[in-house]
Every structure is written in structure tokens, then in C-alpha cells.
Structure 1
Amino acid sequence: MVQANASRIVIAGGGISGLALALALKRALGADIEIILADPALSGAPRPDNRAYAIAAAARAMLEALGVWSAVEATAAPMNEMVISDSRTGDAVRPIFLTFDGEVEPGRPFAHMIEAAPLLAHLRSACESAGVVLDPRGVRRFSVDGARVEVNFTDGSVAQAALLVAADGARSKLREQAGIDWVGWSYKQSGIVATIGHERPHHGRAVEHFMPSGPFAILPLADGGTLGHRSSIVWTERTENVAPLLSLDGEDLLAEIETRFGLELGAIALETPASAYPLGYGVARSFVDSRFALLGDAAHLVHPIAGQGLNLGLKDVAALAEVIVDAARLGLDPGSLDVLEAYEKARRFDTVAMGAFMDGMNRLFSNDATPLRLARDLGLGLVDRLPGLKRFFIREAAGIGAGAPRLMRGETL
């Protein structure tokens, strides 16, 4: 059976970016458009996820505009300060070379840390309340026929739509089916993530220790847990070392973490099991095709060295929602190539530039070569002594640079 509807958009992928796009479109266009969010993961409660994300100030403004922030704010921790050190694992002293602190605007920290699970749950609830169709079918394939895209679901049913958005991750099957090439590589590193309990408060301070195997980040979370205070760690490690580390018993793994975490926050405990994710860089040759658009990790993948991956995806959401809504309100076809190319123009340079910067940072800091160590420490120290440059970096990381999409400025569509 084929469902025909020219005022329908199908989004494949029920992660944060897919949910945010569905909510933005439905909130702006209401009954004028049907939004189907298709993902087998929607068939039950959200799966356990011990990751946490840095939500930049602009992304927070977007969540406020979508009416979601008030629901998740209690579970978010403001990031008031970030310090960067460069040392070896066994060094007794870790000198701080660079500190970022302050607010991008009065009362606005440059970021908040929030755990994936509550953010996903509240986005899903908001989508359901707004009238988004949360569909537990997967998208198997699609074909384009002039003014429509025919979407085939995993149960054999078919729907016609004006646009299909692939938000199905870095290994996007839909991107492959569209014939869009992917340029990228593995870092031969993995990110080990876990929630750590600690005795002393973090006071909103994030720490990034650059070590030979990669950065070890300590990111503030909302208080709670067995010791009263919590942080998330993102531990970049050479991939060949990850399986032996994760096979350690709890006490031995905690001892490995403690050598990197340090003693500044007192005794520590594992609040969640540690898990690992492979790290790499990648970017799609094109973000759009006929009646087809890529979103988030399906379009680009960056190293988590500065916590920008999700923020880039949310910028995609803001830019794509804006061009679709503007076109629909003018009576234009929201899935036409002209509309989609405006989205790609708005996002491609930013994502390629950010990806290249993150790639260069990882290559510079994930080594133990003495000349490079001296050069990078000198560079960090110089940046620390230039307040204007530091403010520029803070504002860019916060996503509030010139030309931000309207949602990223806190404006409704």
C-alpha cells in the first residue's frame, strides 16, 4: 500500500538530531505538514546510553526556542570554566597552559553538560505531544520520481513524501544508497566514556588533559550519585589498548582512571559501566541530492576533542528547518533541490572547517614528540595571554558567531 502526501517529510533516525528536526518542523508548520520520524529504536523505551554532551550556548538557545530546555535544565550542569593541560600519564604535576572561563552573555555559560538519556527522552516526549508520527519501522530504501520521494519501510509498506532526511549516523545506509561518497579515516583511537562519582564539587569546571594517546576530558555533570558529585569522562585511547582496559575488573579499571583523573576531586567511583566508541573523521561529498538531505553524523563526523559533534548536528537541524519552513510558507516545494542547496551552502564550510580543525588538534596533541610538545605548549600559553583571541574562541565554541540560523539565536521559526 502506498500512502501519498506531498506535504509529508520522512526523517530516518530517531537520535537527538532527528528528533530535534522533527520537533522544529512540526512546531513551525503544525497541521500543514506531516512529519514521520522512522527508527526501530522508537519501538520501546530509549536504550541505556552513558554518554553526555556539551550543549553550547547557541544549542541551548535552540532548545529554549523549541520549548525543551525548561524540561531538561534540571539535569544539566553549567560549564563555567575549562582548563587545558599537557602532560604524560605518570606526571606528578600537570601544568595548566590555557583557561577559558566567563559567560558568553550575562547569565549564559558557554556550555552545559547534559546526559544523553534525559535529553532523548524529553525530545521524544515533545515530538509526541507536537504531533510528530513516531514510527518504529526502519527505512529500507527509497527512490525519487520527480516531485516525490517514495520511501520503502522495513515492513514492506511505502509512503510518498516531499523529502527524505537521513539522520541515521556516520555509517548511513541511506547515504550509500543515494550514491554520495564519504571521505574519511579512522584515528585508530576509541573514546572510552563513563560517569564518575567524586567526593568534592567540580564547581562547573571542565578539564582536558592532553596525553600521548589522546585527550582525557573530565566534564561536569549535575550533582548526585554515590559520592554526591558526578562528572563524565571521555578518555581517548589507542584502539588496541581498549579491549584489555575494558576487560579489567572494576577496581583495576578505576585505578587506571584515577591515574588520569587525578586526586583534585577526592575519592572517585564508577557510576556507570565504561563503554567505548571508535573515533574517526569523515565528511560527505555532498549533503543533499534530489529530495534527499543528510543530517548530523550522516553528513559529517569529527573527533570529540572539543565536544562539537552534537552541536554541529544541531546547527544542521537549525539550518535545514529554516530553509524548509521558509519555503513552505512561501508556497514553494520544501524538498526541491534549490531549497536543499541553500541548506548545504549554509552548513558545508562550517562543518568542513571545524572537522579539519579538530583533526589537526588531535594529530598535534595525540603524540609524545618533544619538539611538538614544546611548540604546542608555547602556542597554548600565547593564546592564554591574549584575551581577545580567547573571547573569539569561546564565542565560536558557543556557536554564537555571525550568521547563525534563527533557532540558534533563540528565535522561533
Structure 2
Amino acid sequence: MADKRELLILGGGLVGMTLALAAARKGISSHVVDRADPAELTAVGFDGRASAISTASWNLFTNIGLAERLEEQGCPIASIAVTDGMKPGRIDFQPGPAEGSLGRMFSNRTLRLALFEAAREQPLITWHARAQIVGRERGEHGVVAELADGSRLEASLMIAAEGRNSPTREDAGISIAKWDYRHRAIIAGLTHEKPHDGVAWEIFYPAGPFALLPLLDGPGGVHRSALVWTVDEKDAAGVLALSDRAFAAEVEKRMHGVFGAVALEGPRSSYPLGFHHTAKITSHRLALVGDAAHGIHPIAGQGLNLGLRDVGALVEVLAEGMRLGLEPGDAQLLSRYEQWRGLDSFMVALATDGLTRLFGIPGRLPSAVRRFGMGMVQRTPPLKRWFMDEARGMTGTLPGLLQG
């Protein structure tokens, strides 16, 4: 039995579900298909990761009605400190009083809970959780996903939001450039003696960046931060095998006493780091969003924000086209989305890849050169402002949903 909607969103993660909610705000209906169990995704301890939500992405959440659900659960990022191994010559990014914060930190679990709750309340979203796709069709007049239970879900446009290993992208034969950094990100929650004061630290070491991201204080005023520690793949097993006490000692050493005594909060997790970027982000009646289109190093915390820029642009293109009488799968609309997002996402991907390689060069001379450059940025307000606007996601041609 067929059930027709305008969009068929394959993947109901942070980007896919945000897309469904943003589309619904414009009156666009969707099927959202995801093989995962929502109860597992939102279980305590399932995913210890946290995400930095940029100013532009927060504008998107505000414009689709999510901000009220999230406001009290996020920690504002008051400033960002960037340093080469805690040596002299760091950059401090701090917005003016009228600009508010540089973004907000949320646990991924918090974001999922808010998104899933909003999706359940939205009649324009039909959510198919724990669903296995056994067939995909993209024809002249529409698209179809066939589920293992025999259901056939029809729509005008298919959207791949399944992440880095998107089977829909592979099925469409879209070529991809990718490489492995041979690094692994170790994720952990920390409690610490001194307050973080809303400062996000990005400490660069030759083995990779060491990021400390501010979280809201816990019960009893316990100071908390999220750690993203990049290590060489060959060292990852040894670091993960350390006892909690030994791991905390290694973390303290790399923090140079910034937060005082440190303890672990919850289990550690890790994932390999790689780069990928597709040759194109559209095909016949198909659009790619988020990590299905581009996967970047977490060095600047822009991965999710890049996907949310895809969401804003695609929804704006579709809504404007539908007002003119075009259907969502129209080739003209997909071409406009490709032109809008293809170059921007590629430039961000290149920038993060370049930073990863630049700060990975060991030795005193490369460190001195990097710190000289960072000092120049610190002393040049227009250049510093540009980097800060990039971090806030407020550069380039912004979709309406991402504007204030």
C-alpha cells in the first residue's frame, strides 16, 4: 500500500530530522525512514558526544520552534581560545556585547530528545523508525522506498541523510573523494575543579587537536566539559586502555592546569577520523545532505553546522520552487541547491583539512611560524572578525532560516 508525501528523507539523525521539521514549517510533508530505535539513540550513555551549535544553526532552531525546548539545556560559548601547545601566541575570539555568544554546546542526546519530541507532534512528518529499506526507486514521476514489511513510501524527492556510509549515495553511483587521517577522536565527559567560564579551548598538538568544550554545570554546581582528544591511530588502543585515573592524569597534563584537578564523567568512546566529499550533491530526484555529502575533521566543530546549512538551503529552494508551482523533485530546484551548497561545503572541507595538516607538522620552527601567524590574527581586528564570523556560521549567502 502506497503512502505519498513530498519528501522521502532516508536517515532520521540530527540533520535528517531537522530537515523534516524545517520542511514542515514551510508546509512540506515528508516520510522519515531510519533503521535505528529512538529509545536506544536517546538512552543515557548511548552517545557521549556533544555538538557546538553555531549562531547560524541556533537561528535555524529558533525559526523552526526548537529553541524553546533547548534554551535551558545548552551552555553558551562565551569565547574560544586557540593555542599551539599552550605556548605564547594564542588567539582569543570573543564577540561584542551586542552579538551574544559564539554558539551553544549541547549533548547529542539532548538534541535528539528535542528533535524526536517535536517530530512526534508534527502531522506533516510520518516517522518510520526501526525500518529496513529493501529497495529504492527513482523514476520519471517520483521516488519510492520499499520497506522490509512490504510498505511502499512514495514522494517527489528522495533525500539521503544517512551519514558517512550512505547506502543511498552508493546506490546512486555518486563518486566520492576520501582519505583516512589515521587519527582517532577520543570522547569523554569531564568534571573539573575550576569553572570553564564558557571558554572553548582548542589546543593543537602535533598528534592532533585537544578540544575542551564547555557544558552546563551538573548537580551541586559541579563544573563540566566535553573532551575531544585526537590521537594517532597507533596510540589509540593504549590511551583507551588507561585506567580512569591514569587517563585523567594525561588529560590534566595536556590542559596545563587550566581547569585544575580533573575526573572522568561516564565512559569513554572513540571513532576514526577521515575526510570525504562527493563530486556532486544531487542526482535525478535525489539530494544529499550532511555527512552523506561531506565528512570533515572535527578540528573546528563545523561538521553538524555544515549539515544544518544544507538543511536551510534545501528547504528554502524547495519552498520557493513550490510557490511557483514546481514539484520538489524538479531538476531546476536541485540544480540551484547544488550551486548554492556545493562550493561552500567544499571550501569549508578544504579549510579544515588544511588546518589539520598545518598543525600536524612537528618541530620548533613550524610551531614558531604558526604562533607568529596566530599572533598576527590576534593583533588584526578585521582578520580576527572574519575568523569569528566563520565560526559563528554568519558568512556567505545565508538561507533565510539561518538568519536572525
Q: Provide the rounded CA distance (Å) in 2 between the counterparts of 1:301 and 1:160.
A: 29
Q: Which residue does 1:129 correspond to in 2?
A: 121
Q: Which residue does 1:18 correspond to in 2?
A: 16
1:110 partner letter: L
Aligned-pair distance for 1:274? 1.2
Q: Which residue does 2:385 correspond to in 1?
A: 391
Q: Provide the rounded CA distance (Å) in 1 between the counterparts of 2:265 and 2:48.
A: 10
Q: Which residue does 1:67 correspond to in 2?
A: 65
Q: Provide the rounded CA distance (Å) in 2 between the counterparts of 1:155 and 1:277.
A: 32
Q: Provide the rounded CA distance (Å) in 2 between the counterparts of 1:45 and 1:34.
A: 26
Aligned-pair distance for 1:239? 0.9
Equivalences, count: 399
1:142 paired with 2:136, answer yes
Structure 1: runs of 5 or more not aligned: 88-92
Task: Tell me the secondary structure at the aligned position of residue 90 of structure 2.
Answer: strand
Write out aligned runs for 1:168-187 (5 A).
168-187=162-181
Answer whether contact 2:88 2:371 (CA < 8 A) is retained: no
Q: Provide the rounded CA distance (Å) in 2 between the counterparts of 1:171 and 1:189.
A: 18
Given the superposition, is the C-alpha separation of residues 187 and 147 from structure 1 closer, same or farther in structure 2, using an over 3 Å criterion?
same
Give me the TM-score of the superposition, normalised by structure 2. 0.95
Task: Tell me the secondary structure at the aligned position of residue 109 of structure 1.
Answer: coil
1:173 partner letter: P
Identical columns (%): 37
Task: Tell me the secondary structure at the aligned position of residue 318 of structure 1.
Answer: helix
Q: Provide the rounded CA distance (Å) in 1 between the counterparts of 2:132 and 2:24.
A: 20
1:40 paired with 2:35, answer yes
Q: Provide the rounded CA distance (Å) in 2 between the counterparts of 1:205 and 1:280.
A: 27
Match of 1:112 among 100, 104, 129: 104
Aligned-pair distance for 1:28? 1.4
270-279 vs 42-51, greater mean Cα deviation: 42-51
**Cα-to-partner distance string for 1:283-330 (whole Å, 9 max, x where unaligned):** 011101111111100000111111010100000000011111112222
Aligned-pair distance for 1:8? 2.6
Aligned-pair distance for 1:186? 0.6
Task: Tell me the secondary structure at the aligned position of residue 18 of structure 2.
Answer: helix
Aligned-pair distance for 1:45? 4.5
Structure 2: runs of 5 or more not aligned: none
Answer whether contact 1:197 1:225 (CA < 8 A) is retained: no
Match of 1:159 among 153, 162, 171: 153
Give me the TM-score of the superposition, normalised by structure 1. 0.93
**Cα-to-partner distance string for 1:199-248 (whole Å, 9 max, x where unaligned):** 22111111111111011011111111577111111101101111121122
Q: Which residue does 2:56 correspond to in 1?
A: 58
Q: Provide the rounded CA distance (Å) in 1 between the counterparts of 2:369 and 2:51.
A: 30
Answer whether contact 2:160 2:286 (CA < 8 A) is retained: yes
Aligned-pair distance for 1:43? 4.9
Q: Provide the rounded CA distance (Å) in 2 between the counterparts of 1:70 and 1:160.
A: 33
Q: Provide the rounded CA distance (Å) in 1 between the counterparts of 2:242 and 2:265.
A: 16
Match of 1:98 among 91, 95, 117: 91
2:69 partner letter: A
Match of 1:294 among 288, 295, 309: 288
**Cα-to-partner distance string for 1:259-301 (whole Å, 9 max, x where unaligned):** 1133222221111211111111110111011111111000001
**Cα-to-partner distance string for 1:373-411 (whole Å, 9 max, x where unaligned):** 22211111111110111011111221112410000104x
Q: Provide the rounded CA distance (Å) in 1 between the counterparts of 2:320 and 2:168.
A: 26
Aligned-pair distance for 1:54? 0.9
Answer whether contact 1:38 1:135 (CA < 8 A) is retained: yes
Answer whether contact 1:12 1:138 (CA < 8 A) is retained: no
**Cα-to-partner distance string for 1:330-359 (whole Å, 9 max, x where unaligned):** 221111121111111111111110111110
Write out aligned runs for 1:159-308 (5 A).
159-224=153-218, 228-308=222-302
Answer whether contact 2:252 2:260 (CA < 8 A) is retained: no
Aligned-pair distance for 1:138? 3.2
Task: Tell me the secondary structure at the aligned position of residue 84 of structure 1.
Answer: strand
Aligned-pair distance for 1:140? 3.3
Tell me how large the CA RMSD over aligned residues is: 1.6
2:106 partner letter: I
Match of 2:368 among 374, 379, 383: 374
Answer whether contact 1:196 1:232 (CA < 8 A) is retained: yes
Q: Provide the rounded CA distance (Å) in 1 between the counterparts of 2:209 and 2:243.
A: 23
